[in-house]
Amino acid sequence: MKILANDGLNPAGIRMLEAAGFEVITNKVAQEALPKFINENKIEILLVRSATKVRKDLIDACPGLKLIGRGGVGMDNIDVEYARSKGIAVVNTPASSSDSVAELVMAHLYGMVRFLHDSNRLMPLEGETRFNELKKKYSDGRELRGKTLGIIGIGRIGQSLARLALGVGMKVIASDPYYTESVDIKLDFCDGQSVTIKVPIVDMDSLLAQSDFVSLHVPAADKPIIGREQIAKMKDKAAIVNAARGGIVDEEALLEALDSGKLAYAGLDVFKNEPTPAMRVLMHPAVSLTPHIGASTVEAQERIGEEMAQIIISHFKK
């Protein structure tokens, strides 16, 4: 069977698939050229990440497709139910990238409280006066230890983030309709010992009122989960991190709150108009930015490739 990995696949995954008898093509085919390429090359398995869109028209144009695989979590670039209604299997690799996304959130948190995103841009080539100006500008950083992190959506990534945040001495609370009371988070230490900490589940308003930092880890939604009304309920000088999906934070409301000083910082890995974020978001000195790279670590890519290969092999060798 032929596989087109249109947004790439880690060599570890390719090796596993080839050893199992699949042919893997890693050409990057332009979106509009996909139907012709898939049909002419008799591709039966289409693997994508977030760049390639697998909408109804592509599904209809490629009747030979048997499986669509999304390396990673969010399947909002695929018409999942439609594909399944046509008898095409749709799979993803939900667990492989959770730790990478959680580490990126911690990087945004540590970066923003010490202004790393801004000071990297402004460090002078030379000049004692400018150096000392910046030294003064960035001298009121804050520590994470002892602060409260509110996690909205404590699924795979949320729990991984909770583990890291608890490990550096933060207090963690969460809001998630799937859970009641608390979620057990197990911290493993390198000497083989472990400790389990209960992260309390609170309602959204309590989370907003109590948190110094709010991080979102929920699926894509039609309308923002955090808008003006929710920001008004947050602590003054709090911060928001969004490494889930762009539309779930109202960017206009966020910028207003940063300009007015209601919020101190924001960390964004995802944006409303990806891949073209608003200029005001890009230029804002209080916003720490990354270009949707939450899952993009060497380790996560290896795990994604291997998990995807394993899923495909077991699906077709049933």
Q: Which residues are catalytic?
A: 245, 274, 292
- 70, HSE (Cβ side, Cα atoms, 13 Å): 23
Q: Which long-range contacts (CB under 8 A, 24 or more apart) does 21-25 make?
A: 22/312
Binding to ligand NAD (CB under 6 A): which residues in 4-63? Answer: none
Q: CB of residue 83 vs ligand NAD: minimum separation in angstroms?
A: 18
35, 94, 167, 200: which one binds ligand NAD (CB under 6 A) = 94
Instruction: Give yes or no for residue 291 binding ligand NAD (CB under 6 A).
Output: no
What is the DSSP secondary structure assignment for residue 149, as one 8-state letter?
E
Q: With CB under 6 A, what is the number of residues at the site for ligand NAD?
A: 31
Q: CB of residue 104 vs ligand NAD: minimum separation in angstroms?
A: 7
Distance (Å, whole) CA 32 – CA 25: 18
Tokens for 111, please give them: 């970066």
Using a 10 angstrom Cβ sphere, with 0-12 exposed, 13-18 middle and 19 or more buried, the burial of residue 294 is: buried
Instruction: Give yes or no for residue 177 binding ligand NAD (CB under 6 A).
Output: yes
44, 118, 251, 269: which one binds ligand NAD (CB under 6 A) = 269
Instruction: Give yes or no for residue 72 binding ligand NAD (CB under 6 A).
Output: yes
Distance (Å, whole) CA 293 – CA 290: 7
Backbone torsion region of residue 245, taken as left when φ is above 0, otherwise alpha when ψ lies between -120 and 50, otherwise beta: beta
The maximal CA–CA distance of the chain, rounded, in angstroms, is 70
Q: CB of residue 161 vs ligand NAD: minimum separation in angstroms?
A: 9
Stretch that binds ligand NAD, among 53-61, 111-119, 172-180, 274-282 (CB under 6 A): 172-180
Instruction: Give yes or no for residue 207 binding ligand NAD (CB under 6 A).
Output: no
Distance (Å, whole) CA 271 – CA 91: 25
73, 172, 287, 308: which one binds ligand NAD (CB under 6 A) = 73
- Nearer to ligand NAD among residue 113 and residue 154 (C-beta): 154
Binding to ligand NAD (CB under 6 A): which residues in 221-260? Answer: 225, 243-245
- Nearer to ligand NAD among residue 38 and residue 151 (C-beta): 151
Q: CB of residue 28 vs ligand NAD: minimum separation in angstroms?
A: 19
Q: Where are the alpha helices (DSSP H) in 116-275?
A: 116-122, 128-137, 156-167, 204-210, 228-232, 251-260
Distance (Å, whole) CA 3 – CA 26: 8
Q: CB of residue 99 vs ligand NAD: minimum separation in angstroms?
A: 11
Residue closest to ligand NAD (Cβ): 155
Instruction: Give yes or no for residue 199 binding ligand NAD (CB under 6 A).
Output: no
Residue 234 vs residues 201, 244, 269, 272: alpha-carbon distances, Å: 17, 19, 21, 22
Instruction: Give yes or no for residue 178 binding ligand NAD (CB under 6 A).
Output: yes
Q: CB of residue 279 vs ligand NAD: minimum separation in angstroms?
A: 21
Binding to ligand NAD (CB under 6 A): which residues in 113-152? Answer: 152
Whether 80 and 90 have beta carbons less than 8 Å apart is answered as yes
Q: Kindly list the residues in this chain that would bind ligand NAD in the complex (CB under 6 A).
A: 72-74, 94, 97-98, 101, 152-158, 175-178, 217-220, 225, 243-245, 269-270, 292, 294-295
